[in-house]
Chains A and B, each alone.
Chain A
Amino acid sequence: MKLNIDGLLVWFPYDFIYPEQFSYMLELKRTLDAKGHGVLEMPSGTGKTISLLSLIVAYQRAFPLEVTKLIYCSRTVPEIEKVVEELRRLMEFYAKETGESNNFLSLALSSRKNLCIHPEVSSLRFGKEVDGKCHSLTASYVRAQRHSNPNLPTCRFYEEFDAVGRQVPLPAGIYNLDDLKDFGRRKGWCPYYLARYAILHANIVVYSYHYLLDPKIADLVSKELAKNSVVVFDEAHNIDNVCIDSMSVNITRRTLDRCQTNVDTLQNTIQKIKETDAAKLKAEYRRLVEGLKEANVARETDVYLANPVLPDEILREAVPGTIRTAEHFVGFLRRFLEYLKSRLRVHHVVQESAPQFLKDIFDKVCIDRKPLRFCAERLQSLLRTLEIADIADFSSVTLISNFATLVSTYSQGFTLIIEPFEDRTPTIANPVLHFSCMDPSIAIKPVFQRFQSVIITSGTLSPLDVYPKILDFRPVTMASFTMTLARTCLCPLIVGRGNDQVALSSKFETREDFAVIRNYGNLLLEMSAVVPDGIVAFFTSYVYMENIVASWYEQGILENIQRNKLIFIETPDAAETSMALEKYQEACENGRGAILLSVARGKVSEGIDFVHHFGRAVIMFGVPYVYTQSRILKARLEYLRDQFQIRENDFLTFDAMRHAAQCVGRAIRGKTDYGLMIFADKRYARADKRGKLPRWIQEHISDGSLNLTVDESVQRSKHFLRQMAQPFRQEDQLGLSLLTLEQLQSEETLKRIAQIAHQT
């Protein structure tokens, strides 16, 4: 249908629209008009993706000069594929309605592992192997060598692409990963490089967060994207952690050992080259004198794990003399390595800032700040000169040099922690050096600065004002939308007490309490008898889950539960978990019923949807606070308090509640879906916790559903499930939570829509 969004003509590829979608598009339009950033929260299953796509595409068509490109960032490959399919639908609708084929080019981009069509390379299992193998076939010097020795292996797809692919642009259309591969096979071009080249002139790019946020990759892939693009981060509730992870480095004893081998190899290679081809090293030296800028102009295929954000002015400087010759540099690395080893030999925990570390390293081994800063660049240059084909082996030394550059570049926002052993096993020495980023805004800052509009959106972003604070940007719109419902299809219950009035809580003091564990077991048992098909239960951590399950086993609760449903458990092992998930779904499908015990913050809580019968109830045992004794977290909390005036407790609660919301949100994936959300901890009833849940959950928590006992909640669930099992058709939704075009135009509806957006 055709919509009029604040004066903009938007084609919407469905006959019906949810009121909140309309409202969402209005807000989005305002954000784009203001050329600013936005934070928008809308529940999952209400068609966020299609609203975003249809509005932005319409905007691009209406104002082709203001918005040239949409960059849609998603988390996983299946999600990327889903977005592309929605987009395809939209474009088909355009073609059908307007009768003209438009010249939009949209494509998905993923790693080599997902895009490679080379018969040998694509059969490798790990992403790193594929990258390494690909590199050994396509690096510029490998290809240069081939001129003299044609027997060397080659990748004909890359050669073909390099020969003609760049002259002929990719024809307009929608390409998901498989389409790209098909196209590549037909033409004989490498789909990966084709896609990387094509995103420069594509109208819509769909790819993973990391291509923008991880400075090592962003530098390669997203460097040349136009400034007047719109960037969308979907499912962005964890964006701060992605930013932090992309900037942090962990170094263990093993890394250092491998690094040692790397350095030895480097030394040997240098020796060899010196005997055969001394001129090459000299040439490199000259280049370095001229400055890094030129060194940086390398072919796009010479991909080492590139440097972390280096300020531009450094690139223009010349590499300092101490590390300019290859031997000196290797010696320098050796020294640095020895120093790190000596640091890891400590017996107590050390925490220091970057300047402290630099001072210490200067005092002990006389390493200056400046050469450290150039370490990453210098290593790249060396690896290129030595023509090392397989870069996968050199990941350790690359990591160390990245660390060197990071530690000497940023004096703020990072902390260095050396732990001689893990907290749980204080007797086993396992020293780890964490160089951890505490300020997510460092990684995302270039994105906010460069692009005119950045939209952060997810189903759970509450409380909205935290994100602008921790990511350090100023949004023009912040809005939270609720789900309009024809029937109340979600039923949040806060269970605070057992039948014996023992307070249920996962807080540290009562963690081992027998009565609490028994009551939790009782809750699960009772629920398994009244909830059909699938139940997903979340615990706060693996350790906690193990304790509780072991205790339930001893008390015979598990046996009783198994009479009603089968039990599956998530483990840290990915293969085991996916097996458990598969069997869980099978058990739900054929009526046996199943319970999945999993962990908040685990794989299941983040990426797996439990639609309809796969998740009729979600039980959240306890409040999923992050492990507060971790030193990295403590450092981060301190930093947040000092820099952003966010109190520790506020941040911890915020973090716990967003994960709890993520977990319970797994059950409701649309308006025809229904599910129970059971918060089993009395602390959820407090206003500070409850107030941090997303609005679409909060508004269904009445005062009567706070602090229930197990029995009460069972009664309520029974009642709710019977109500929901009554036949429910699309006509029942029409006019209330589903609108036709005519209904949309009525005064009354528009008034109602205005209330959906909740400005903050």
Chain B
Amino acid sequence: MDEEPERAKRWEGGYERTWEVLKEDESGSLRASVEEILYQAKRKRVMETHGQVRLGMMRHLYVVIDCSRSMEDQDLKPNRLSSTLKLMEAFVDEYFYQNPISQVIKPVCFCETGNPKKHVAALRKAVDTVCAGEPSLYNALSLAVHTLKHMPGHTSREVLIVLSSLTTCDPSNIYELIKTLKSLKVRVSVIGLSAEVRVCTVLTRETGGFYHVILDESHFKELLMLHVKPPPASASSECSLIRMGFPQHCVASLSDQDAKPSFSMSQLDGDSPGLSLSGYFCPQCHAKYTELPVECKVCGLTLVSAPHLARSFHHLFPLQAFTESPVEQHTDRSCQGCQGRLKDRSVFSCPSCFSSFCMDCDLFIHDSLHCCPCCIHGPSVS
């Protein structure tokens, strides 16, 4: 959305020759054609995600961030690593916002909780990592396999790799490992920071993941956000009823004589110890936790709060895709979402209330709101 101003700020862009980019735009060659293709891809993404498919709502996502020499490259500012980690923070937040009952596992931190704060903290720490040495896809993947292997069958097993290097030094044949991944139904997606690498193409194609290469930071962010949405569950994954606990938050006032400060069980992971009065108590074993969602350390029960489940709910009843039509057909030339003029070639209208939106609002509604603002607004008007 705000791509243009961001690009304009790139005065330190060295040899990027912005004047040539402009020229190419005009003649409609390289950049224009590629952008056209990208526009189509954006559109396609919206269309695709709205089939009636079963989505895997409980996800186990294993994020691997390449920390090899090439991450020091400065084509993303200030360098690839910092930029990646910054975007990753946003990704983790967004991920847990939309998928509260899922897990992220990161090789840098290895925390099993679904707690976003810890990941963010771990990411901040990683900024200081010195990038050196050769990366190995094989080692990263086999590490991921070892962990994901034990995840229950009803959850999805995913690996997301942010790969900057163009080479991988593997101790063994990676194609064997790809076969293993395939048989374990692990989806591997890769985001490349420099260029298309063959082995990643094969890897993602075989395991059913996505492979994307970034153009710039904003595109990188877009690609990361793609992975927030849960993937369709494979037909063969088991269905099972899952026991969940909904602990209440108990607040004890200091004046209460019976209340005694106690430790939280999450302290076992080595989190900052602290005595507190309030917390969530597991309905099964009464272990205390300060934050949700979490898996109980004592009895293994998944503890969530009702709003968490509700947030996952929209995946089950996604908003219908809007219909696309050329701009000429519309008399009203303003978007119902942002109230701006409709500039694009096509307009998107909601199939139930027929209000029209521009491309960006369409994306926003489907990606973030998950409901049509006019439909909600509508009944009260009529």
Interface residues of A (CB under 8 A from B): 486-488, 529-533, 563-565, 588-593, 612-613, 616, 704, 711-712, 715-716, 718-719, 721-728, 732
Q: Is the CB of A722 within 8 A of B194?
A: yes
What residues of chain A lie closer than 8 Å to B175, measured between beta carbons?
A: 590
Cross-chain contact B37 with A592 (CB below 8 angstroms):
no
**CB-CB under 8 A for A590 and B199, given A722-B194, A722-B215:** yes
What 5 A-B pairs are tightest by C-beta distance, nearest first?
A591-B199, A725-B213, A613-B198, A725-B196, A721-B195
B15 on the interface (CB 8 Å rule)? yes
Contact of A592 (CB < 8 Å), options: B168, B212, B214: B168
Q: Closest CB-CB distance, B253 to chain A, in whole Å?
A: 58
Q: Which residues of A contact B29 (CB under 8 A)?
A: 488
B196–A724 contact, CB under 8 A?
Answer: yes
B145 at the interface (CB under 8 A from A): no
Report the bound CA distance from A175 to B210 in whole Å. 43
Closest B-chain residue to A724, C-beta based?
B196
B136 nearest in chain A by CB position: A591
- Taken together as a complex, chains A and B put the C-alpha atoms of A565 and B173 apart, in Å, by 17
Taking CB as reference atom, which chain A residue is nearest B196? A725
Q: Report the separation of the CA atoms of residues A530 and B164 in the bound assembly, to the nearest whole angstrom.
A: 10
Q: Given A591-B199, A727-B41, are A532 and B169 also a contact pair (CB < 8 Å)?
A: no
* Option from A486, A704, A718 in Cβ contact (under 8 Å) with B194: A718
CB distance B194 to A530 under 8 Å?
yes
Interface Cβ pair total, 8 Å cutoff: 102
The reply on B200 being an interface residue by CB < 8 A is yes
In the complex, the answer to whether B174 meets A591 with C-beta atoms within 8 Å is yes
**A475 to B30 alpha-carbon distance, docked (Å):** 37
Q: Tell yes or no: B20 within 8 A of A by CB.
A: yes
Report A-chain residues with C-beta under 8 Å of the C-beta of B38: 726
Closest to A720 in B: B30
In the complex, the answer to whether A732 meets B214 with C-beta atoms within 8 Å is: no
Q: Mark B209-247, 1 if CB is under 8 A from A, else 0.
A: 000111100000000000000000000000000000000
> For the complex, is B282 an interface residue (Cβ under 8 Å from A)?
no
Binary interface encoding of chain B residues 25-47 relative to chain A, with 1 for a CB under 8 A from any of its CBs, else 0: 00001110110011011000000
Q: Quick check: A721 and B194 within 8 Å, CB to CB? A: yes
Is B166 positioned at the interface, with any CB of A under 8 Å from its CB?
Answer: yes
Known interface pairs A724-B196, A725-B192, A725-B195. Does A704 touch B17 (Cβ–Cβ under 8 Å)?
Answer: yes
| B170 & A592 in contact (Cβ 8 Å cutoff) | yes
C-alpha gap A563/B168 in the complex (Å): 10
Shortest distance in angstroms between A711's beta carbon and chain B's nearest beta carbon? 6
26 contacts between A and B (CB under 8 A): A486-B33, A487-B37, A532-B196, A532-B198, A533-B197, A533-B198, A563-B69, A564-B167, A590-B168, A590-B174, A591-B137, A591-B168, A591-B198, A592-B167, A711-B15, A712-B17, A718-B75, A718-B194, A721-B196, A722-B194, A722-B195, A722-B213, A722-B214, A723-B31, A726-B215, A732-B40
Chain A CB within 8 A of B16 CB: yes
Residue in A486, A565, A704 whose CB lies within 8 Å of B20: A704
What is the CB-to-nearest-CB distance from B142 to chain A, in angstroms, rounded to a whole number? 15
Please determine whether B34 and A591 come into contact, CB atoms closer than 8 angstroms: no
In the assembled complex, the Cα of A732 lies from the Cα of B34 at a distance in Å of 10
- Interface check B367, CB cutoff 8 A: no
Q: How far is the CB of B357 from chain A (nearest CB, A)?
A: 25
Which residues of B118-177 are within 8 A (CB) of A? 134, 137, 166-170, 173-175
Q: Which one of A488, A712, A724, A725 lies within 8 Å of B15 (CB-CB)? A: A712
CA distance A563 to B167 in the complex (A): 9
Please give, as numbers and ranges, the residues of chain B lying within 8 Å of A722 by CB-CB distance.
194-195, 213-215
If A488-B29, A722-B215 are given as contacts, then 10 extra A-B residue pairs at C-beta distance below 8 Å, sorted by A number, are A487-B33, A530-B195, A532-B197, A589-B198, A591-B167, A591-B200, A593-B166, A704-B17, A723-B34, A725-B192
Task: Identify the closest chain A residue to B37 (Cβ).
Answer: A732
Closest Cβ neighbor of A736 among chain B residues: B33
Residue of A at shortest CB range from B199? Answer: A591
Contact of A529 (CB < 8 Å), options: B14, B166, B199: B166
Q: Is B102 an interface residue (CB 8 A)?
A: no
Residues in A with CB closer than 8 Å to B70 are 529
Partner of B30, one of A488, A530, A727: A488
Contacts of B30 in A (CB 8 A): 487-488, 723
| A728 and B37 contact, CB distance less than 8 A | yes
Q: Which residue of B lies closest to A612 (CB)?
A: B198
Complex CA–CA separation, A716 to B69 (angstroms): 21
Contacts A487-B37, A532-B166, A723-B30; A591 near B197 (Cβ below 8 A): yes
Chain B residue with the shortest CB-CB distance to A713: B15
Contact status B166-A564, CB under 8 Å = yes
Cα distance A721–B194 in the bound complex, in angstroms: 8
Min C-beta distance of A731 to chain B, whole Å = 8
**With a CB–CB cut-off of 8 A, which chain A residues contact B37?**
487, 726-728, 732
Provide the residues of chain A in CB contact with B194, threshold 8 Å.
530, 532, 718, 721-722
CA distance A750 to B374 in the complex (A): 48
Please report the C-alpha to C-alpha distance between residue A711 and residue B170 in the assembled complex, in whole angstroms: 30
Q: Which residues of B contact A487 (CB under 8 A)?
A: 30, 33-34, 37
A715 surroundings in chain B (CB, below 8 A): 14-17
Interface string of B5-28 (1 = CB under 8 A from A): 000000000111100100000000
Chain B residues with Cβ below 8 Å from A718 are: 75, 194-195
A723 with B215: CB separation less than 8 A: yes
Q: In whole Å, how far is A484's beta carbon from the nearest beta carbon of chain B?
A: 12
Question: Which residue, of A533, A613, A725, has the highest number of chain B Cβ atoms within 10 A?
Answer: A725
Q: A532-B196, A721-B194 are in contact. Are A563 and B213 (CB under 8 A)?
A: no
* CB-nearest residue of chain A to B19: A704
Measured between alpha carbons, how far is A589 from B200 in the docked complex, in Å?
Answer: 10
For the complex formed, measure the closest distance between the CB of A690 and the CB atoms of chain B, giving whole angstroms. 19
Bound Cα distance from A719 to B17, whole angstroms: 11
Residue numbers in A under 8 Å from B137 (CB-CB): 591
B168 surroundings in chain A (CB, below 8 A): 590-592
User: Which of B75, B169, B195 gathers most chain A CB within 10 Å?
Assistant: B195
Q: How far is the CA of A488 from the CA of B34 in the complex (A)?
A: 9
- A565 nearest CB neighbor, chain B only: B167
- Which residues of A sit under 8 angstroms from B15, Cβ to Cβ? 711-712, 715
B23 to chain A, nearest CB (A): 8
Inter-chain contact B40/A532, CB cutoff 8 Å: no
- Interface pair A531/B166, CB less than 8 Å apart: yes
Residues of B within 8 A of A486 (CB): 33
A711 contacts which chain B residues (CB < 8 A)?
14-15
- Which residue from chain A places its CB closest to the CB of B134 in the assembled complex? A563
Cβ of A134 to closest chain B Cβ, rounded Å: 44
B314 CB to nearest chain A CB (Å): 27
Q: For residue B20, which residues in chain A have a CB less than 8 angstroms away from its CB? A: 704
Contact indicator B75/A593 (Cβ below 8 Å): no
Residues of B within 8 A of A488 (CB): 29-30, 33
> Whose C-beta in chain A lies nearest to the C-beta of B16?
A715
Query: With a CB–CB cut-off of 8 A, which chain A residues contact B169?
Result: 592
Of chain B, the residue at the smallest CB distance from A563 is B134
Least CB separation from A566: chain B residue: B167
**Bound-complex Cα distance A591 to B38 (A):** 26
CB distance from B238 to the nearest CB of A (A): 32
Tell me how far the C-beta of B33 lies from the nearest C-beta in chain A, rounded to whole angstroms: 5
Closest to B15 in A: A715
CB distance from A52 to the nearest CB of B (A): 30
Distance of A160 from chain B, by nearest CB (Å): 48
Question: Does B199 contact A589, Cβ atoms closer than 8 Å?
Answer: yes
Find chain A residues with CB under 8 A from B173 CB: 590
For window 174-207 of chain B, which residues contact chain A by CB distance below 8 Å?
A: 174-175, 192, 194-200
> Complex: how many Å from CA A704 to CA B167?
30
B143 to chain A, nearest CB (A): 17
Q: When each residue 284-302 of chain B gets 1 if its CB lies under 8 Å from chain A and 0 otherwise, what string results?
A: 0000000000000000000
Q: Which of B75, B167, B168, B170 has the most CB of A within 10 A?
A: B167
- Please measure, in the bound complex, the distance between the C-alpha atom of A371 and the C-alpha atom of B214, giving whole angstroms: 77
- Complex Cα–Cα for A588 and B202 (A): 12
Q: A668: shortest Cβ distance to chain B, in Å?
A: 15
The CA of A487 and the CA of B212, in the complex, are separated in Å by 18
Point out the residues of chain B lying under 8 angstroms from A591, CB to CB: 137, 167-168, 170, 174, 197-200
